[in-house]
Structure 1
Amino acid sequence: MADRALRGMTIGAKSMESEDGVEFAERMMVTYECPVAHVTTIPMSTEAEVPASWECPECGRPAARRGEDEESDSEDPRKIPRTHWDMLLERRGVEELQALLDERLEMLRSGAVYRERL
């Protein structure tokens, strides 16, 4: 029984088919460049619709197709992500936040917070 086993092959690692007689689709190389100047070249079929942008594999920023004009300046590629503080300030003013903080600190000092949990 051990004589019939395939030796030296891992399951799913290699194909037993050969590439003899296979016609590959015509390809073209498309180059993208991200705002940090990382260059990525992707092979694509000549029949495929080439996207205007591609995610940079090095930094994750959107990379524009090299050689094409910029689409628009409405999307700033160096957009700074919003922090929790920024999102909080969109909902409440500093005075309101100060009043809430004072109220919660007073509750902590008086022990009311611990009584709520029990």
Structure 2
Amino acid sequence: MGVLARTLLSLDVKDDVAMADRVLRGSRMGAVSYETDRDHDLAPRQMVKYRTAAGEIYEVPFAHDAEVPEEWLCKNGQWGTLVEGEGVESKPVKPPRTHWDMLRERRSIEELDELLEQRIDALRKRRRSAARMLKEQQEEQAKNAK
């Protein structure tokens, strides 16, 4: 390889590195792909049509092998029903367990009442001792002021 060819090759590599630096400098990781889609096959998809009660028809893309639901929420906030074909009925949704539900699984109402009384007594003792300390501080300040 001649000197001229090596020089041109090194310039070409330097230009590629400089361009890559410029491209990546102001971008966030994962925000934009700089790879072309020309040589990639996309996953097979199917477009499914839904109709809202107002009559608006909209399409939602699903994977070709996905189970299509009978209802889908439109971007306007209304539910749409499947226009053609058969969908899969949505499963009944269990209500979420609340903190109270989980607490009731572990303790009875009597136990909870007893715990509540213990906590209230502890708070009252703390409040009494704080009031006593405040009164003592005020008396001491009054003595020092004389």
TM-score interval (norm. to shorter): 0.3 to 0.5
Of Structure 1 and Structure 2, which has the larger fraction of its residues in helix? Answer: 2
Normalized against structure 2, the TM-score is what?
Answer: 0.39
Greater relative contact order (Cα < 8 A, sep 6+): 1
Q: TM-score of the superposition, structure 1-length normalised?
A: 0.46
